[in-house]
Structure 1
Amino acid sequence: MSAGTAGLVAALPPEAAGWAERGSAVVREQPGEIDGLFAVAARKCGRGALGAVPGWSVDDAVRALLLAALPLTGAELAAVVSRLYRVGGGPERRAVLRSLALLEACGDLGDLGLPLVEDALRSNDPRLIAAAVGPYGARRLGAHAFRQAVLKCVFTGIPLDRVAGLAGRADAELDRMMADFAAERSAAGRTVPPDVAEYLHTHRVSTEATA
């Protein structure tokens, strides 16, 4: 068991952890069983917040553990993960997106999960967008796509602290885009979101420079 999966198991309520462990054992022996288990995870384990992992719910963690238990890597793993994303509803898709960093570490996923991140970023569902800018997306998105993802968060009201690795990936072009956004808001007499103002302050960006 990797450190990532061990941390999720430890964060789960005991009954949910037990169900996840039993389900994971089944999936390791019979990978095809994941479809049914993935679908009933919320009903079996609940949808409560996972306090030790901010932003995650219990069913997110259980589904991530089921995915991590698959005895698959690379393209085979990506095919199963993509199928579960495509046929799932919002909660299932969110769980897949949040699992990508874990699968990257333990399943040699590489860039094969990027199409799912890109699909989520084209949606208007804040839950999916926020999951898409987690650690996997923050590492794997190209520079232009990452900037656009950050702006999508700004426009949809997703707090910038949900964007993994923002400090390390911010660049002069993103600074300019954020400054332009703030200048347009100010010119229209609208309030600049506090996290955007904090970004500009932290990066010492003047909104007057690009106005």
Structure 2
Amino acid sequence: MNGGGADPRALHRALTGHLAPASAAWLATALHDAEATTTSPGGIPAWERHFASAGRHCRPGAGHAGAGDVAEAARVLILHAARPDAPALTRLYTRGSAAERRAVLFALPLLPDLGPGAVPLVQDALRANDTRLTAAALGPYAATHLPPDSWRQALLKCLFTGVPLAAVASLAERAAGDAELARMLTDYAAERTAAGRPVPGDLHHALALTGAAAPPAPPAKEP
């Protein structure tokens, strides 16, 4: 229920169906404050305080699990309602926990006025040693705005760290006809083979999407 690229209305319905009554009431207040751009004491927008405190206030209802998931979805909805600009998102991302950073990344495709202004946040997430951040960074926003070189390197990082390429939005569209990506994938497969390591199955899938031929299979070992 991370909301990356999801319809905000559908995400809201799904989330409220999972929340305990008190948490649902808190979410209603948080979204109202975000839409109204209410300011808290000290000049900080109220929605920023709600964003930071979602982990304390969002609790799943009886029969539902995943407190982290509901808090993450709540943060995405708060950002969608507040429509922050790139500097505000950068502040939240830079100061935030890993969970808050993921929520920022998941919310990016729901903020159409951003343009490429949040690309540095995606690139920062792709440099982190956190596979959940890597997966969150490669949603629809990255598919639209991430430069080709960064996007190709991100795919290789997914293969290297075990992040499934299913997490990469618009993989087929961006990989199609990409000769440089095909070269990089073929070289990586050759390095793995030479080192006696298995080639990830996702690599063959991505290579096929580029339209390039699959790398030759390693020679069979003699008995």
Cα 1:58–1:177, aligned 2, differ >3 Å: closer, same or farther? same
State the Cα deviation string for residues 81-126 of structure 1 (Å, max 9, x = none): 111111101000010001000112xxx1111111111111111111
> Secondary structure of 1:164's partner?
coil
Where do 5+ consecutive residues of structure 2 fail to align? 1-5, 40-44, 218-223
**Which residue of structure 1 lines up, in the alignment, with residue 12 of structure 2?**
9
Where do 5+ consecutive residues of structure 1 fail to align? 51-55
**Would you say 1:65 and 2:77 are equivalent positions?**
yes
Tell me how far apart the structure 1 counterparts of residues 94 and 195 of structure 2 sit (CA, whole Å). 40
Structure ranking higher on relative contact order (CA contacts 8 Å, 6+ apart): 2
Aligned counterpart in structure 1 of residue 120 of structure 2, from 115, 118, 136: 115
Deviation at 1:147?
Answer: 0.6
Aligned counterpart in structure 2 of residue 101 of structure 1, from 109, 112, 115: 109
**Which residue of structure 1 lines up, in the alignment, with residue 184 of structure 2?**
177
**Would you say 1:154 and 2:166 are equivalent positions?**
no
Aligned counterpart in structure 2 of residue 87 of structure 1, from 85, 90, 95: 95
Deviation at 1:19?
Answer: 3.1
Tell me how far apart the structure 1 counterparts of residues 25 and 171 of structure 2 sit (CA, whole Å). 35
Larger Rg: 2
Which amino acid letter does the alignment assign opposite residue 26 of structure 2? Answer: W
Deviation at 1:201?
Answer: 4.5
The within-5 A match list for 1:15-30 is 15=20, 16-29=23-36, 30=38
**Would you say 1:191 and 2:206 are equivalent positions?**
no
Which amino acid letter does the alignment assign opposite residue 26 of structure 1? Answer: D
Identical-residue share of aligned pairs (%): 46
The within-5 A match list for 1:126-165 is 126-165=131-170
**Which residue of structure 2 lines up, in the alignment, with residue 42 of structure 1?**
55
Tell me how far apart the structure 2 counterparts of residues 82 and 33 of structure 1 sit (CA, whole Å). 17
Contact 1:9/1:17 (<8 A) preserved? no
> Secondary structure of 2:78's partner?
helix
Q: TM-score, normalised by structure 1?
A: 0.83
Q: TM-score, normalised by structure 2?
A: 0.79
State the Cα deviation string for residues 126-183 of structure 1 (Å, max 9, x = none): 1111111111011101111111111111111111111111100011111121121112
Contact 1:129/1:153 (<8 A) preserved? yes
> Secondary structure of 1:57's partner?
helix
How many residue pairs get aligned? The number is: 195
**Which residue of structure 2 lines up, in the alignment, with residue 53 of structure 1?**
none
Which amino acid letter does the alignment assign opposite residue 11 of structure 1? Answer: A
Cα 1:58–1:149, aligned 2, differ >3 Å: closer, same or farther? same
